[in-house]
Every structure is written in structure tokens, then in C-alpha cells.
Amino acid sequence: MADNLPSGLLEACVVVGASNDKLKEVFQSLQQGKEKESPPLEAEVLQVHAPPFVTKETAGGPQGSSGFGRVQRRRSFIKKKKDRPATPASDDTTKDSEAADEDVSVPKDIDLVALPQLCFPGGLQISSDSREDSFHFLVFTDVLGNQTYGVVVQYCRPVQIYQDSSLYQNGHWSSSKVPRLYATFGICVISKYPYYNALRDCLSCLLVQLKTCRMADFQERVKEFAAKLALVPIPPPGQFQVAFNLRPLQIVLPAKEDKENPTVDLDLHLPFLCFKPRQLLQIITCILTEQRLVFLSSNWARLTLMAECFMLFIRPLLWQHPYVPILSQQMLDFIMAPTSFLMGCHLHHFEEVAAETDDLILINIDDGTLSSLSLENVDIPDVPLDAEECFVKRMESIQFHYDLDVCHLGTSTDINEQRMQRRQWQQRLNSEIQTVTLELIVNIFREVQDHLNYEHRVFNSEEFLRSQDPLDQPFYKKVLDTHIFHSFLKDRLNRKMDSFTRLERSTRSEAQRMKATLDSPRRPTMQQMARKHSGPETRLSRRLGASLPNLGEEQPHGLPMRQTSLKKLSYDASVTSALKIPEKSLKTFKLPEFPPPLAYHYVQNYYSEVIGLLGKAMASLPPENSALLARYHYLRGVVNTVAGKRLDALADFQNLYRTDIDIFPGELAQSLVESLLPDERAQAERRSELKRLVSKAKKERDTDGASRGDDGGGVKKFQLPRTHMRLEDFVKRVQESGIVKDVATIHRLFEALTVGQIKQVDPEVFRVFYTFWKETEAEAQDVYLPAGVIEHLDTHECVYKLSSSVKTSHGVGKIAMTQKRLFLLTEGRPGYVEITKFRDIEEVKISSAPFLLLRIPSLKIKSSLRKEMFEANLKSECDLWNLMVKEMWAGRKMADDHKDPQYMQLALTNVLLMDAVVGCLQSQKAIYAATKLAYFDRMKLEVPMMVPKTTSETLKHKINPSVDQTEPRAVDVLLYTPGQLSVSDPDSDGNPKLWCALSDGKVVVFDAASWSMQQSCVQAGASRLNCMLGLDLYQVWIGSQDSVIYIINTRSMSCNKQLTEHRNEVTGFALEERGEAYSQRQAYSCSVDGTVIIWDVSTLQVRKQFRLSCDRLQSIQLFSGILWCCARDCIMEMRKNGVPHRRLSLPEHLSSRPSTFSGFTLLTEKEQLWTGCAEAAELCVWHTRDLAKPFQRIPLQDCEGVTCMIKVKNQIWVGCRGWSQGKVRGKIYVVDTDKHTVEKELVAHTDSVQALCSAEDRYVLSGSACEDGKIAIWKVE
């Protein structure tokens, strides 16, 4: 248990200085004239104070710890009498000197051997003059990369030595002959958290006390100070902070923004005061390319602060190499390390360090310059131009000077008020800087995701490099091989939802979102092409003076600034708005005044007072403020833990499930469960809210060994195969290459490459095919279209294929193919002649044109908009173009008929694969092989492509939620949430949303205004999802097969709450309409075991629950305040007290065969109940006054059974599995509730309809099973 006790602010407090014996030696040397000046002294550890400071044992009770700390992770530190600080020989200290030894518990990860050097990195000397107190900062990193932080104050005290060599400190001098000396002590506060400013403030308060106390009280004052800091809990992540009084100042501990990011308690604008923006970018580049960096300054404090700022600037990328921001004089040989590193040392070592090795990057903080000894060995590439210009532009708009911001304000007479004002300004500035530096990282690495294969964990680095501008490639070549980037890649492949992912998604343009929705092959759009060729001056050489100066020559240390491009960055409006930093309310919890910190009972009373204050704060909160409530629960749970109240702590942590599970302390909760005493465990088993938490902790403990260290796997670089590939291996290789994901398409490609041979692909054939594909992509990047041509094309059109120069009926030129049309790029003065759009084609055929004595193959295309046919003498290319145009024509027709734009993208992929296959095989069978890929053209010939007229008129659009998957996934649940016309919340766009639940807990979110994919994966557990409910603007409830109700925050698109009261699969929801303006809303949920729970929506507390006796409770609905429940064998009407009022059983004609209810709806105004069964091709209509038998049965033609049904206006929409044109299809029947007849029979899915939902009664959305996996949008009449 002690191993996992939560750390408080203090890990240890160490006093360092000269020992008693050393002071005597110095005195004697000075007295005897052997030394004119005090020689350098070796600093030693004089005192160590570490928690726990009080225990039950010291208070006379049973053994046990009380206080923040990790008691068992400690080692002994024995302080001998001779090593104690020099003290006056007075009665006050006699009793302190009586003890011979004292055993002090020291945290294991604190290196007491190196600490004295780091506390006095410039050395320790006794001086005859008093020195000003000075602070500096330390970072300790262990072999596992875990960091501990230290703040050191060098504090000077007078020391007098009598003629008999006895010592007297901080006293009065009785003789002018006695030399006056000053000794410097270092006090180092060590913490697990980087609270640089807060700990500096704490030490400043301690100095006020030490300067007025006698040396005899020095040790006790320091120990008491350390014990107070050990009582301070660390605030949980979020908009929350903890404050406490340490006279004369009030100290504030800010919280981490989230679990992934560290605490920021330093001034992030300091580097901007020392370096210009482009120099900052050069330093960031050095870090990203893992150079050997040494920071230098004449001020020790600047070294760590500057290094820490840059570590924050590159997040979420993490430095992976040795990191020692301060090197003492004795540690300078560290810079000879053969690996990359980031270190810091004093500026007076500049020449010494520079002479050690010639490949160091020396960063002079004081002068704001970068330099290196050798021009040849160090090459710092330029940051990609667009990212650089955006960063520089953003930086110019930030105000870095506090005085300019507050010059209009009066001067506060309260120092704590002044500090609060400055702190708030600094927090806002830090937030702005972090947003801008994160945007820089996003702009640099945004396109990485386009070259990842998640299924096989492959990053295609070569393809990524080729896709970058040639002038940006040197930067990426260096970065892609670094450990930093490799770690970043692993997070991307693990689909980590961190700050990078959130900003990247929120700043996507509409074109990027649509591209993600359709998964188009990579080609530059007309918009990108226009920007690329907008002027020759936009891509000037960017390597003007980018190398480092040579220290061996007479040159200044500064790096010459490169000449910047004349290109101006055009900011996307959506990007600009996404970077506006909203004012976030920050809640401060103030701790009570510290008790005497070395008395156990006072400390326990203090904890009780903190717990009471947190309880009062929670009681005063409105239930809607769940985020702040979660922080209070977390903090109270931590305090309860150190106070020994384990069950109360577990209850607080359990409440995080319903308030904010993102901050749930899993390891601490598990250790609490393991440390429960038998009587406590019995109590936990009797408390329902704790029973599940205890059982879950046991389960996690049992599975922890198997899953420990599993980070999702490594990252592979794409490599061409070296052996023959059968189908399964070929599918894997093609997916890894990034050419295509769809398994069915890859199967057709396999058939094409193995025509007329054994069914395996030769590695050489694959290499030629892959090379041809990539060369075609590269050639497309270099296609030049004049502005006069580009203006005829849509902004998002791309040229996918360009023929050689041929003679046509419209003149000589090259035929260009986009996803929409064919056009002729005429020769001579390049011009545009449209041939036809694919949807306008009526006929495509091969003919022959006479040329002298020869007949040259030509392609003829008939368009509905032109009388004459277009003819092109394509010669040897004719057969291929004939196949490609026919496939695009067929794909366009399928896309138009089925209202599914993905068909066009699939046809386009097929066409490009045909081109690559023909280019690869280079034989007579090449064209025949390419026909294997003519999927849509073959479908047109084999089966009628006509969509039934009713279906075509009603169908509006189709979307594919599985577009980023290798195979279609079943659509299990659909939910539409309406938008808001005016939304004041900056985190919400106000558009309506479509929520789609796929397998394994995956939720895909579409913007229902544009049908573009907004979130490709919001994870809600790992099991099948059964039901969804939209409660308000900000939360969606999802019921899972794992018995948990997951609550998604629609602003952050994260699943941050869970309701765990169900013990079985959650199958349905119902929402009670608000009766009065201020009445509390209630939501109902049900599970398969018949349990129904009624929830208070605002507090997420259970109001009531009851259990029904039935066979698998499947769904519930509320009609006029009355709850109806549907099970497999019955439908029940419930009373208010949860007792069944009436029960409807299966109709008699179905009871004799296996059948179950699959859906129902109630028409209250008609007093009718409509039901459907999974194995019956009919709907049954019942009178609600007589549920004995249905009064009418409505047959559903060509139906195998009802899967779902909803009421929309005066219609019932019924989803089924049925038959159409002799094939299994997903069908929808639209039934008129007045006439009781089927008005429409709709066919748009190739598998059964699994889910239906209504969009404001204007549209109905249907989702199908895994053979189809698509969503259809239907118009409601």
C-alpha cells in the first residue's frame, strides 16, 4: 500500500553545505596565513527531511503511516555527529548533540552523492562578504525516464570562529581581531512534480524565517517547513488549483491540463525574450533531429528553465536521450558522451566545452545565439516553410510584456493580490504559447497519418518523404530516423487521443474531412496546384546561410538568418477560429492553515478539516458542474487515503465514474483494494457502489501481468517483399504499401497479377508494380496546368491520368482524366477543351482511323451534350483508355443511381490499378489482366444496374462509416442529434450530428450538415454497443454489451463518464419529457436480465430500479409518461411503481413456431400498438384496450423478418432482411398508419437493415449489417 500512496508536494528536503570540520580547517588556514583566500570546499549533505514525518507509532498507537509519501521505497541515511552543521556551544543545543546517530528515511530515487555538486554547481567557498540569496532548478532523470524536480536556494549565513577554534554562528562578535566569515548553505526541495515557481515561493517564505532564527533552531525550522509541504496534496488534472498559506505568501499549485501533459509552473515566454522566432525554430529543429545540445548561461537558473520550456514546446513529442540541464564543474566530462543529449553549463566554460568535440550545438542563452565548432559536421535543416511562416506570424501577435498589459491598472497594496494578477496573466500567456507551439508541431507532422497502416502498424516513410516539397525533405529525412519520432509514431498507430490529435482534427479543412470520408487516391487538387504554381518567386532557395558558423574563424556566434520566401500564408478561417483560446474558469481550493506538522493528532485533525471543507464545497455545487465535482471527489479521495480512511477514499474514486473517469487513479484504487483489512473488505462487499470497484480491481490485478508492457506493438517501415506471395500475404503487403485498403479490391488485383499462372505473385512483379504506382503518383505532382485551364475545373478536382500527345477530333493534345470528366490539354499554347463529364457519356467504343496504308486504333466517345463523337488516335494506349473510361462511366452511373459517392472513388481506384497493372506486365496479356479490375463495368453487363424508381426518388445520399477499415463493419445503432442555430460554446460547432455505433465499441460521428466524417473513432469500451440516447447538447449515452453505460462528452468527443449499476448487457434507453420548466429530467435504461433503472439526468444518481420477469428484455419506450418494455416473449405496460400492468404475448399464429418480438411502437392518438417479429413477414396491429390478439396483420412482401421499426409522422418505417431481384437485400417498408398499407418498398442495402433513426421527421437514416455496412439517408414525405 505504501508503495502507491499519493505523493504530496514534497518528496524530500535536503540541506547541503560545508561540514563542521571543513569550516575549522578553513579558519586555521586563514589564521595561520597559509591561505590568503578561502579555498574551494566540498559540499556535503547536512540534513535530509523526508515524509512521513509523523506516524501512529510515534503517537503511541498502532503502527501505520500518515502523510503523503512512498514509505517503502526508501533507504536509510545515517547522520553522524561530526557531520552536523556548525552550531554554537550553548545549552539550547546540548540535548541535540546527545544522540549519536539518527536514521532518516530517504526516497530511493534521490541521489545524495551527486546532489551536493548540483546544489553548488559553481563550487562552494567560504567568503568574507555576504552574498545575495540565489535560486536555481534541477531535473533528475532515472534509467526508466521518470523525472524528479528540485528547487535550490543558496542561502548565506555569518559564521564566527573563536580563537580556541570553537564555532559560533549567527551571534555577536566580541573581538575585532576575529575574522568575519560567511558560509553558504544550499536548501533543496525535491518534488515529483515540476512546481518551479511554487517551490521557489515556498523557499522564499522559509528564508524569511531563517534570517531571524538562531542557528540552533535552523534544523527544526527546516524540518517543520518540510513537514508542512508534505501535507499539501497535488491537484488533479483540469481547470483546478490548490492554494495554501505559507506566511507571508499565498502559494498556488496549478493542475495539469490533462493526464497526458505535465504541470506547467514556469514562465514559457522566457525563450522568446532571449531568442528571435526563427532562432527558436532552429533550436526546436536541433531537438527534433536529436543533435548534441549544450545550453550556456551566466545564470544557473536560466539553464533549467530554458531547457524545460523547449521540452514543453515539442510536446507531444518526448525527448528520449540524456537530459541534464545543469552540469557542475565536476560533471563537464558528460559532454563527451557518444549519444545525443541535452545539457547545460555555465557560460565561463564556453571555450572549454567548444574545444571538447566539434559536433556540439552551443546555445548561448545570454546572447541569444546558436553556434558550432564545425560547419561540416553539423547541418541544421530548415523547418518546413508553411509551418515556419505560420509560427512566426502567430508569435508576432502575442504580447510578451506584462507591464504593457497592466499599465492602465492601479497598483494593488496587497502583495497576494498583485501576485494573483501576475499569475493569471502568465497562465493566459502560457496557454497561448502552448497552443501556438502545438500548432507548429501539428503543421509539421499533420500528413504523417496519411501514410500509416493501422492494421499492420506500418509507416511508409519513403512515400511520406516523396509527398513533401523537395525543399522540406532534408528536415524530414533527419527527423524520421529519430527516437523522438518513433515514439510519436507509436502513439499515432495506437490512435492516441491527445492534444495533437484533437488540434489536428479541429483544424482540418472541409476538403480534408471529405477526403477522409471518401479515401481518395493521393493527387494534388486544383486548389493546391494553383497555389503551387502561383508564382516562381514562391519557392526561392531556402538554404541561404542555413549552416552554422565555424568557431575556428573570426565570426560572431550567431546563426545567419536565412532569406525567407516571399510566399504569404493564406490562413484558413476554420484554422484561425480553432486557435482562439477561450477564457476558462479556474477554480481554486484553499487549504486550511497548517497545524503543528510534527504532531500526529494535529495532522489527523488537519486532514479531517480538509475533508470537511471539500464536502461543503461539493454540497454547494450544482449537479451540472460534474467536472468540478470530479476534482473535489479526487482530492477528497487522496486525502482520505493518507488519512487511513480507505473505504471513504474508494467511495470518492467510485464517484469519478459518473463525474469524470479520465482522472480516475487506477493504480491507487487498486492498491487501496489490496490493502483493505478483512472487516473493511466485508463492508465494501455490502456497499453496492464499492462492490463492483473491488471486483474490477481484482480482475485487473489478475490480468495485469499479461497486459503489462503492452504498448500496442512497434512500428514497421514498409519494405518490398522478397518471396513469392499467396493471396493472404499479398493482401497484407498491399495494405502495408498504402496503395489500397479494401480487401475485395486487393483480391481482384491479385487475380490480375496472376493471370495465366500459379496463384502467387512474384516479388519482382510486385516491385515493378509498386514502382510504377509510385512513379505515377510522383508524375501527378509535377503536372502543370495553366491558370486558364484550372479555372474550368472544380477546386477539389485532381488529374489522375494524362495520355501521351495524340491527334483528336478537337486537335492535338493530351487527354486528361479527373474524377469528374475528360478534357483535352491542347498543345502549342496550352488550352482547355472539355470532352465530356462521365455522367454524360452514352457510348464508348474502339474504332480505327486510316493513316497512309495503316489503320490506327482510335477511341470514340459519345456524349449526350454533343452531336458528334469525340475521337482520339490513342494508338497503343487505346485498349487501356477504353477500359478506364468505361469503368469510370459505370462507376459514375452507379454512384448517381445509388446516391453513393464512394462508388466513384472505388471506380477511380480500379482505373489507377489497371494503369499500374498494364505498366507492370508489359505483355500481350496485360489488357486482359486489367479487365479483372473492371468491377463496375462488369456489374453493368452482368446484372441490371437500374435502381427501383421508388427507391431512387426517396434515397438522398449514402455514406460509409467503415471507410478507414479494410472491410465493412455492421452498423449496430444510429442516433441523430439536432444542431443549434446560435451556439456560444467555442468548443461546439452547432451542427447536427449523426452517431454511428460499429463493432468493438467504436463510434463514428458525422456532421449531418455536410455528411463529412467529424470523428473517425470515439471509443466506448471494447464490446458491441446496443443502444444510444442523446440527452442534451453535451452528452450522448451509449449502452454496451459489457453492462456499462458510457457517456460521451460531445464537446471533447471523449467518453469521460460511466454508469456501472447494471449487472448485465444494456439494451435500451428511454427519456422522460420535462413536465415543468424546472422539473428534473429522468432517463430509463434496461438490461437483458430484466433490470430497469431510473436515473436523475442532472446528478446521474439512481432514483429507482426494479426487475421484470421476462425472456431477454430488449428495449423500452415511454409513451405519455407510461413505460412499455419489449422482451423476446412479451411486451409489458408498466405502472409507476415498476409493477407490470398489462402483458402482451406473441400472437397465437406465431406461438407455435420459434419467433420473438423484435420491435414495437405505440400510436397513442389512435390507441394502437404496432409490433414486429424477427421471424415473421408481417406487422401486427393491436388495440391498446384489448391486447388479447391483433385486430389486423399487415403482410410485408419478400420479407424474412422485421429487425427494427420507428414512427415518423403518420408512417411506420420497418427495417427488414428480404429479397429483391432474386438476391438477399436489406429492405425498408414504409407503412401508412391510417390506411394500414405498405406505401413504399425501398431497397438500398445489400445486407439486412440493422438500425433506423429519424432526423427531425425530415429524413430517416438506415444502417445495414456487415456485408454492406453503409448508411442510407431517405427523404420523408
Please report which confidence band the pLDDT of residue 295 belongs to, taking 50, 70 and 90 as the band edges. Answer: very high
pLDDT tens digits along 710-734: 556 788 888 899 999 999 999 999 9
Please report which confidence band the pLDDT of residue 766 belongs to, taking 50, 70 and 90 as the band edges. Answer: very high
Q: Count the neighbouring beta carbons within 10 Å of the beta carbon of residue 180.
A: 13
Residue 1247 forms beta bridges with which residues? Answer: none
Distance of CA 1176 to the CA centre of its chain: 47
Q: Which amino acid makes up residue 892? A: R
Measured distance CA(491)–CA(1182) in Å, rounded? 56
Measured distance CA(908)–CA(895) in Å, rounded? 12
pLDDT at 704 over 70: no
Measured distance CA(981)–CA(1225) in Å, rounded? 38
Best mean pLDDT range from 432-436, 453-457, 1095-1099, 1216-1220: 432-436
What is the number of H-type helices and E-type strands within the chain?
A: 35, 57
Asked if 265 and 197 count as a contact pair (C-beta separation under 8 A), the reply is yes
Asked if 77 and 48 count as a contact pair (C-beta separation under 8 A), the reply is yes
pLDDT at 84 over 50: no
At 1250, give phi and psi (nearest 5°).
Answer: -100, -30
Of the candidates 230, 225, 130, which has an alpha carbon nearest to the alpha carbon of residue 185? 130
**What is the predicted pLDDT for the residue at 404?**
85
| Mean pLDDT computed over 736-759 | 90
Please report which confidence band the pLDDT of residue 320 belongs to, taking 50, 70 and 90 as the band edges. Answer: very high
C-alpha cell at 145: 525516464
**What is the predicted pLDDT for the residue at 550?**
40
pLDDT tens digits along 140-175: 988 888 899 999 999 888 876 655 555 555 444 444
Select the more confidently predicted residue: 983 or 1052: 1052
Q: Which amino acid makes up residue 1006? A: F
**What is the predicted pLDDT for the residue at 376?**
57
702-706's contacts with Cβ under 8 Å and 24+ in sequence apart are none
At 1067, give phi and psi (nearest 5°).
Answer: -120, -15
pLDDT at 1157 over 50: yes
pLDDT tens digits along 529-552: 666 655 444 444 433 433 344 444
pLDDT at 984 over 70: no
Please report which confidence band the pLDDT of residue 61 belongs to, taking 50, 70 and 90 as the band edges. Answer: very low
**What is the predicted pLDDT for the residue at 770?**
92
Asked which of 415-424, 521-530, 1013-1022, 1128-1137 is least confident by mean pLDDT, the reply is 521-530
* Residue 905 three-state SS: helix
The overall average pLDDT reported for the chain is 84
**What is the predicted pLDDT for the residue at 943?**
60
pLDDT at 342 over 90: yes
**What is the predicted pLDDT for the residue at 577?**
43
Under DSSP, the state recorded for 8 is: B
pLDDT at 89 over 50: no
**What is the predicted pLDDT for the residue at 569?**
37
**What is the predicted pLDDT for the residue at 158?**
80
- Dihedral sign, Cα of residue 731, residue 734, residue 740, residue 746: negative
**What is the predicted pLDDT for the residue at 638?**
95
C-alpha cell at 776: 505515377
Asked which of 69-78, 299-308, 1225-1234 is least confident by mean pLDDT, the reply is 69-78
Please report which confidence band the pLDDT of residue 179 belongs to, taking 50, 70 and 90 as the band edges. Answer: low
Residue 1070 forms beta bridges with which residues? Answer: 1084
Measured distance CA(910)–CA(740) in Å, rounded? 10
Q: Is the peptide bond before 316 cis (omega within 30 degrees of 0)?
A: yes
Asked if 265 and 257 count as a contact pair (C-beta separation under 8 A), the reply is no
Radius of gyration of the chain (CA): 37
Residue indicated by cell numbers 471543507:
613
| Mean pLDDT computed over 410-428 | 88
**What is the predicted pLDDT for the residue at 440?**
96
Measured distance CA(836)–CA(1119) in Å, rounded? 56
| Mean pLDDT computed over 818-830 | 88
CA dist 218 → 156, 224, 735 (Å):
13, 10, 69
Asked if 1205 and 1172 count as a contact pair (C-beta separation under 8 A), the reply is yes
Q: Which amino acid makes up residue 794? A: D
pLDDT tens digits along 367-418: 999 988 765 566 789 999 999 999 999 999 898 888 888 888 888 788 888 8
Angle at 582 between CA 578 and CA 587, to 5 degrees: 140
- Residues whose CB falls within 8 Å of the CB of residue 1258, separated by 6 or more in sequence, listed in order: 1275, 1276
Of the candidates 127, 145, 152, which has an alpha carbon nearest to the alpha carbon of residue 12? 152
**What is the predicted pLDDT for the residue at 535?**
45
pLDDT tens digits along 652-695: 999 999 999 999 998 899 899 988 999 998 998 888 878 888 88
Angle at 121 between CA 118 and CA 125, to 5 degrees: 120
pLDDT at 13 over 90: yes
Measured distance CA(884)–CA(912) in Å, rounded? 8
C-alpha cell at 1142: 398489462
* Residue 1186 three-state SS: strand
**What is the predicted pLDDT for the residue at 553?**
40
Under DSSP, the state recorded for 1105 is: E
Best mean pLDDT range from 210-219, 471-480, 855-864: 471-480
| Mean pLDDT computed over 1203-1214 | 94
Distance of CA 868 to the CA centre of its chain: 57
**What is the predicted pLDDT for the residue at 872?**
92
Please report which confidence band the pLDDT of residue 514 belongs to, taking 50, 70 and 90 as the band edges. Answer: low
At 1062, give phi and psi (nearest 5°).
Answer: -70, 150
Under DSSP, the state recorded for 418 is: H
Of the candidates 546, 537, 524, which has an alpha carbon nearest to the alpha carbon of residue 568? 537
CA dist 533 → 530, 569, 786, 789, 1111 (Å):
5, 14, 8, 13, 68
Angle at 1040 between CA 1039 and CA 1041, to 5 degrees: 140
Please report which confidence band the pLDDT of residue 754 belongs to, taking 50, 70 and 90 as the band edges. Answer: very high
| Mean pLDDT computed over 201-207 | 95
**What is the predicted pLDDT for the residue at 81?**
38
**What is the predicted pLDDT for the residue at 604?**
93
Please report which confidence band the pLDDT of residue 1014 belongs to, taking 50, 70 and 90 as the band edges. Answer: confident
pLDDT at 488 over 90: yes
**What is the predicted pLDDT for the residue at 562?**
41
**What is the predicted pLDDT for the residue at 88?**
36
Please report which confidence band the pLDDT of residue 63 belongs to, taking 50, 70 and 90 as the band edges. Answer: very low
HEC secondary structure over 164-221: CCCEEECCCCCCCCCCEEEEEEEEEEEECCCCHHHHHHHHHHHHHHHCCCCHHHHHHH
- Residues whose CB falls within 8 Å of the CB of residue 775, separated by 6 or more in sequence, listed in order: none
Q: Report the DSSP pairing between strands 323-324 and 341-346.
A: parallel
Q: Report the DSSP pairing between strands 1211-1220 and 831-837.
A: unpaired
